[in-house]
Structure 1
Amino acid sequence: MKLNATESKVPLYFLAREGYWLERAFKRFCNGAGIKAQSEYLLASRAFLFKLLLDDERSFSYSLKSGFKGTFSELLQNRFILNQDEITRTFSPVLLAKTIDLETDKQSVIDIFNAHKAELSLLLASTKKAYLAYLEQLGVTKQQTVHIVDLGYSGTIQSLLGILLNQNTYGHYLIASNPGVHTIEGCKATMKGYLKEGVKIGDGYLPLDRSMFLESLLTAPNGQFRDIRFKTLNKGAENLKQFDFYYGRKVASQKYFYILEQVMAGALNYIEHAARHNITFTKSELEMLLNSYLSKPHMIPHSIAHIFDIDDDVTGNGTVNALQFFGLNK
Structure 2
Amino acid sequence: MLSNCKMPVSEPRFANFGSVFLGPVLSFFSQRLLDNQPQDKPLYFLAREGYWLQQAYNHYLNGARKQQKSYYLLASRAFLFKLLLSDERSYTYSLKGDFTGTFYDLMRTRFLLCDSEITTIFTERVFNTQIDLKKDKSKIIAMLTDSRDDIDLLVAPIKCAYLAYLKSIEVTAQSTLHLVDLGYSGTIQSLLGILLNKDTHGHYLIASNPGSHKVASTRAYMQGYLKEGVKIGDGYLPLDRSMFLESLLTAPNGQFRDIKFNTLNPNSFDMYYGRKVASQRYFYLLEQVMAGALSLCEHNAQRAVNFTANELEILLESYLAKPNMIPHAVRHIFDIDDDVAGNGTVNAIQFFGLG
Q: Same fold (TM over 0.5)?
A: yes
Given the alignment of the two structures, is residue 313 of structure 1 paired with residue 305 of structure 2, yes or no?
no
Shift of residue 115, structure 1, vs aligned partner: 0.9
Q: Name the amino acid aligned to 2:325.
A: M
Q: Secondary structure at the match of 1:17?
A: helix
Distance across 2 between alignment mates of 1:290 and 1:274: 18
Which residue number in structure 2 is paired with residue 284 of structure 1? 310
Distance across 1 between alignment mates of 2:280 and 2:129: 35
User: What per-residue deviation string (whole Å, max 9, x for no partner) do you get for residues 151-208 of structure 1?
Assistant: 0000000000000000010000000000001111111110000000000011000000
Structure 2, unaligned stretches of length 5 or more?
1-31
Task: Indicate conservation of the 8 Å contact 1:18/1:220, yes or no.
Answer: yes
Distance across 2 between alignment mates of 1:2 and 1:314: 29
Given the alignment of the two structures, is residue 259 of structure 1 paired with residue 285 of structure 2, yes or no?
yes
Distance across 2 between alignment mates of 1:306 and 1:269: 23
| Gap change, CA 1:126 and 1:171, over 3 Å in 2 | same
Given the alignment of the two structures, is residue 323 of structure 1 paired with residue 353 of structure 2, yes or no?
no
Shift of residue 8, structure 1, vs aligned partner: 3.4
2:180 to 138, 149, 169: 149
Give the total of aligned pairs: 324
Q: CA RMSD in A?
A: 1.0
Q: Name the amino acid aligned to 1:217.
A: L
1:163-174 matched pairs, under 5 angstroms: 163-174=194-205
Given the alignment of the two structures, is residue 210 of structure 1 paired with residue 271 of structure 2, yes or no?
no
Q: Secondary structure at the match of 2:177?
A: strand
Task: Indicate conservation of the 8 Å contact 1:8/1:36, yes or no.
Answer: no
Given the alignment of the two structures, is residue 68 of structure 1 paired with residue 94 of structure 2, yes or no?
no
Which residue number in structure 1 is paired with residue 250 of structure 2? 219
1:116-127 matched pairs, under 5 angstroms: 116-127=147-158
Q: Name the amino acid aligned to 2:126.
A: L
TM-score by length of 1: 0.97
Distance across 2 between alignment mates of 1:31 and 1:228: 32
Q: Name the amino acid aligned to 1:219.
A: T
Q: Secondary structure at the match of 2:143?
A: helix
Sequence identity, in percent?
Answer: 64
Q: Secondary structure at the match of 2:313?
A: helix
Structure 1, unaligned stretches of length 5 or more?
none
Given the alignment of the two structures, is residue 86 of structure 1 paired with residue 112 of structure 2, yes or no?
no
Which residue number in structure 1 is paired with residue 273 of structure 2? 247
TM-score by length of 2: 0.90
Shift of residue 90, structure 1, vs aligned partner: 0.6
Which residue number in structure 1 is paired with residue 164 of structure 2? 133
Task: Indicate conservation of the 8 Å contact 1:217/1:308, yes or no.
Answer: yes
Shift of residue 3, structure 1, vs aligned partner: 2.7
Task: Indicate conservation of the 8 Å contact 2:186/2:202, yes or no.
Answer: yes
Given the alignment of the two structures, is residue 47 of structure 1 paired with residue 78 of structure 2, yes or no?
yes
Shift of residue 6, structure 1, vs aligned partner: 5.9
Q: Secondary structure at the match of 1:8?
A: coil
Distance across 1 between alignment mates of 2:319 and 2:281: 24
2:139 to 97, 108, 122: 108
